[in-house]
Amino acid sequence: MRLTLDITRCEGHGRCYDLAPNLFRPDTEGHADLIEPEQEVPAADESSALAAVRNCPEHALAFEP
């Protein structure tokens, strides 16, 4: 599975990089940034990725089939 991030919806709450620090980091303004935007989510990080998607208040995160 891959993650997608709609940066236009992100308001910088930081839940994604708190819940999945191996997948996200803050940019210079505190908005989400995917560490590896084109890579598959490693199996070890799938549960934290799911938590990040479920906890994004703006629904800026999604899974790509």
CATH number, position 51: 3.30.70.20
Query: What is the pLDDT at residue 25?
Result: 96
Query: What is the pLDDT at residue 65?
Result: 75
Domain total of the chain:
1
Instruction: Return mean pLDDT, the chain.
Output: 95
Share of the chain above pLDDT 70, in %: 100
Q: DSSP string spanning 38-50? A: TSPPPGGGHHHHH
- Which range marks the domain in which residue 11 is found? 2-64
61 DSSP β-pair partners: 5
Is residue 15 a contact partner of residue 58, using CB atoms and an 8 Å limit?
no
Per-residue pLDDT tens over the stretch 13-42 = 999 999 999 999 999 999 999 999 889 999
Burial class (CB in 10 A: 0-12, 13-18, 19+), 13: middle
